[in-house]
Amino acid sequence: MIAPADIVLTPLLPFLILLVAASAALLIDVVQHRAQTGGPLALVGLTFAAVSYLVQFGGARTEPTAVFGLHWVVDVPAVALGLIVLFGAILSVLGGWTRVRRDDLDRPEYHPLLLLATAGGLVMVHAGDFVILLLGLEILSLSVYALAAWRPDRRPSQEAGMKYFLLGAFASAILVYGIALTYGATGTFDYGGVAQALLAGAGPLALAGGALIVVGLGFKVAFAPFHQWAPDVYTGAPTPVTTFMSVVVKAAAFGALLRIVATAWSGALPELEVALAVLVGATLLVGNFGALLQSGVKRLLAYSAVAHAGYLGLAVVAAAHGAFATEALIWYLAAYAAMNAGAFVVTMHVMGDDPDRGDRIEAFEGLGARRPGVAAAMTLFLLSLGGIPPLAGFVGKFLAIQAAVRVDHVALAVVAVLGAVVGLVAYLRPVFAIWFRDGRSSVPALAGPVRAAVVLAAVATVVLGLAPDLAYRWIEGSGPLALVPWTP
């Protein structure tokens, strides 16, 4: 039962800031008839939310606490994942600055929906029980469904929105059913309560509920075979929205899945660990081999997102056995947010006004001669996604594979290494087109906000690779711990 002492709004400040920013952006744009203030207000809201995180939790506070009857969790993993969600949203807003206006996407609801989706992501990473998780998931999902279909004049965008909505609604229904079965087996929605009940004896009902929860969240993180939506939706949705989906939605969903595996199940359902391992292995194979067959860069990056879901899944599989897996996944998500968002931003810029042809690898031919700075940034992002040292992607894959080996999933680690070799070939195809082929299409200079997004992503990719301890020391020892009530 929630007592008045539990109702403390301070830990919710980042979430509340995003709600206020979304409301302000919508009201101002509607009242002033599309004054196009959504972008600046979104950046201000996201920045203030990140600052509030750092002010409240960036110092010595690392002990896990919670409010609202222990349903809103405040610990190092939640804060780190929240900052990653905000970082990805900031890159999406900056990277799509000119594209949003050029393609007439900057209608009054666009940036408010983006902020609401980000707020939903924060709820997911802070959720301490299944009800709060579901609330955050729906806030995020409903906003992204609308954003995926934001170009009603283009059939691919319509199809992307419809596919994502139908499949997403189906996955949400499966998740709700899994949560209901888990409640029936344990008598509680709280992760800690579920863990205690499962340790006392897990029955078939709890196993069935856990399996359905894996399916529901597996859709959001794009685990195979629940990944079918990703290539079509990533390709059909407006590229600024795709950038947001590929980073923010994935970080929020993996954050939720990590806490469930590490805290709620806590090793009490070994059958689910086996099932997760099978899904992760299939995801690694499908993502890396699928990327080889693509002729469009957005579709290649979509399969890349599937493959990286597999690498991130290695840490999830190991999460029930130790804190190192939690640290590996958080670090990897930070690196992934930088390099993947950067790759999508450059792709968005190169596509120009012809999204159908501009998406093809041929559009990158000769980019090294025409725009060497943009070409160098894209090469950096692709090599990092491919796991080339000393960039961030290499360190992330190393940490994830090491986490799997530590819990004796050696076969899965071998699949991951072989998949990385296959995937590297796919990433080198655009690199070859950029530097070793001649092209005639013109690529304009980057606008200021877009350049800022590319530089920020590139710096993060390099710094995280060359000095991984800068981020790792902060999240070190951030494994699942016992929660206590919030004490300001």
DSSP string, 321-388: G-HHHHHHHHHHHHHHHHHHHHHHHHHHHHHTT-HHHHTBGGGGTTHHHH-HHHHHHHHHHHHHHTT-
pLDDT > 70? residue 134: yes
- Taking the CA atoms of the chain, what radius of gyration do you get in angstroms? 21
**How confident is the model at residue 481, as a pLDDT?**
40
The mean per-residue pLDDT over the stretch 227-237 comes to 90
Contact 74, 123 (CB under 8 A): no
Phi then psi for residue 481, to 5 deg, are: -130, 165
Q: Which residues contact 285 (CB under 8 A, 6 or more apart)?
A: 224, 415, 419
Q: Parallel, antiparallel, or unpaired: how do β-strands 484-485 and 72-74 relate? A: unpaired
Beta bridge partners of 305: none
The Cα 471–Cα 409 span in angstroms is 26
Contact 340, 222 (CB under 8 A): no
How does pLDDT run across 358-385, given as a tens digit for each residue?
Answer: 578 888 888 888 889 999 999 999 999 9
Q: How many residues are recorded in the chain?
A: 488
Beta bridge partners of 129: 190
pLDDT band at residue 121 under the 50/70/90 scheme: very high
> What six digits make up the tokens of 13?
């400040």
Give CA separation, 192 vs 3, 260, 270, 318, 433, in Å: 18, 10, 18, 19, 52
Q: Omega before 225 cis (within 30°)? A: yes
Q: What percent of the chain has pLDDT over 90?
A: 58
The mean per-residue pLDDT over the stretch 298-311 comes to 94
The residue that leads in pLDDT, 59 or 424, is 424
pTM summary value: 0.93
Q: Say which residue the tokens 């090294």 belong to.
A: 368
**How confident is the model at residue 61, as a pLDDT?**
45
**How confident is the model at residue 245, as a pLDDT?**
94
Picking from 140-154, 372-386, 434-448, which range would have the lowest pLDDT averaged per residue? 434-448
- 408 in helix, strand or coil? coil
Helices (H) and strands (E) in the chain, counts: 22, 3
The Cα 91–Cα 346 span in angstroms is 12
Helix axes 250-259, 323-351, angle to 10 degrees: 170
pLDDT > 70? residue 220: yes
**How confident is the model at residue 358, as a pLDDT?**
56
pLDDT > 50? residue 406: yes
pLDDT band at residue 354 under the 50/70/90 scheme: low
pLDDT band at residue 355 under the 50/70/90 scheme: low
The mean per-residue pLDDT over the stretch 430-448 comes to 83
pLDDT > 80? residue 183: yes
Picking from 1-10, 193-202, 340-349, which range would have the lowest pLDDT averaged per residue? 1-10
Of the candidates 346, 474, 291, 466, which has an alpha carbon nearest to the alpha carbon of residue 394?
A: 466
Mean pLDDT of the chain: 87
**How confident is the model at residue 267, as a pLDDT?**
75
**How confident is the model at residue 476, as a pLDDT?**
66
**How confident is the model at residue 69, as a pLDDT?**
67
Contact 317, 259 (CB under 8 A): no
How does pLDDT run across 30-77, given as a tens digit for each residue?
Answer: 777 665 778 899 999 999 999 998 887 765 444 566 666 668 888 888
The Cα 7–Cα 222 span in angstroms is 35
Please give the helix or strand (H or E) that residue 234 lies within, else none: helix 229-236
